[in-house]
Structure 1
Amino acid sequence: MTGISDADAAAVAAQLGRAPRAVRDVAHRCPCALPSVVQTAPRLEDGTPFPTLYYLTCSRLNSRIGSLEADGRMREMQDRLAEDPELAAAYRRAHDAYLAERDAIESLGTAVSAGGMPDRVKCLHVHVAHALAAGPGVNPFGDEALAELGDWWAAGPCA
């Protein structure tokens, strides 16, 4: 692991319930100061491609996003994606930004990013992680989900 302290690695392991894999750095922290998103290497330690550049670690945030997914939010987003060309273009830009960031570390030789981008909405966890790491205005579905989730950190640290 590069760029991550032993304390952060321990916090991420507690959040995930397992040791983190291929972590490069903490990409976002909750207001409680614990990591909430880590940036991962494009390949696992054994060389296996790992296209998910941003991995959500906060267990409380993961649970809340799971509730949004169970409520059918991805299906609603997918429907809007097919009907709204401006939204589709913003989502394409999020995909392109994701690929550019990952390829700057190491190209996997593929146009596959994560979360179904650019044509499907497959995993809100990925979109929220991307939105937190990249900041507002980059991933429209990550931004929307975060707005719905509110202050997930208000109850204190998740680990």
Structure 2
Amino acid sequence: MTDPAPAVVPDPSAVTDRDLEVLAEQLGRLPRGVVGIAARCVCGRPLVVRTAPRLDDGTPFPTTFYLTSPGAVAAASTLEANGVMREMSERLLEDAELASAYQVAHEHYLAQREALGHVDEIDGISAGGMPTRVKCLHVLVGHALAAGPGVNPLGDEALDLIKDSWRPDRCTC
């Protein structure tokens, strides 16, 4: 008697037609340049998409990790409205250790995008203001969710700050 074939486990980063439907619902428009799902909700729906560095129409697109979960987007927006980006940017000027870790996050982001293809127009430019300031918490939260803890210190911090309103381990879909 032969052993049964092992079950095929789907790649969680693969994009399905259902994912594209959910993304259109989340974004309120058709998603552009999606090459993978970088993070998923515990229910399986996309939280963060991985986006091509050049869109189909030729536009350079530096935002490799695009936050799509409405709850996470709203929570990051609240932080931005409350001045958290300014506070974080000021700390980067004062805290050499934080600035160094943020530089490493910037380099990680660039390497992840470069793995998808090189685009001269955005060469060396990551997203979210990295490595010298904080310009978009949505990008930093998306990067932190995609890369996991310990890669983007300010993305991790933002996730901690929003944990009372949104958390990746609790479905709010």
Q: Corresponding residue for 1:149?
A: 162
Q: Which of the numbers 118, 140, 143 marks the counterpart of 2:153?
A: 140
Give CA deviations for 1:55-79 in whole Å, capped at 9, x if unaligned.
0000111011100000000000001
2:106–2:130 Cα contact (<8 Å) kept? yes
Segment of structure 1 superposing worse, 2-11 or 146-155: 146-155
1:60 maps to a residue whose letter is G
Helix, strand or coil at the partner of 1:112: coil
> Is 1:15 aligned to 2:26, yes or no?
yes
Change (3 A) 1:64 1:104: same
> How far off its partner does 1:48 sit?
1.1
> How far off its partner does 1:28 sit?
0.3
Q: Corresponding residue for 2:8?
A: none
Q: Corresponding residue for 2:53?
A: 42
Alignment of 1:96-107 (within 5 A): 96-107=107-118
Helix, strand or coil at the partner of 1:21: coil
Give CA deviations for 1:97-150 in whole Å, capped at 9, x if unaligned.
110111111112311110000011000000000000000000011000001111
2:41–2:171 Cα contact (<8 Å) kept? no
> How far off its partner does 1:32 sit?
2.4
2:98 maps to a residue whose letter is L
Query: Identity of aligned pairs, percent?
Result: 56
Separation (CA, whole Å) in 1 of partners of 2:84 and 2:107: 23
Q: Corresponding residue for 1:87?
A: 98
Structure 1 stretches of 4+ with a deviation exceeding 4 A read: none
> Is 1:78 aligned to 2:78, yes or no?
no
1:37–1:133 Cα contact (<8 Å) kept? yes
2:24–2:30 Cα contact (<8 Å) kept? yes
Gaps of 5+ in 1: none
Q: Corresponding residue for 2:40?
A: 29
Separation (CA, whole Å) in 2 of partners of 1:74 and 1:136: 19
> Is 1:60 aligned to 2:71, yes or no?
yes
> Is 1:3 aligned to 2:14, yes or no?
yes
Helix, strand or coil at the partner of 2:48: strand
Separation (CA, whole Å) in 1 of partners of 2:68 and 2:114: 22
TM-score with structure 1 setting the length: 0.94
1:32–1:156 Cα contact (<8 Å) kept? no
- After superposition, the CA RMSD in angstroms is 1.4
1:30 maps to a residue whose letter is C
The aligned length equals 156
2:58 maps to a residue whose letter is G
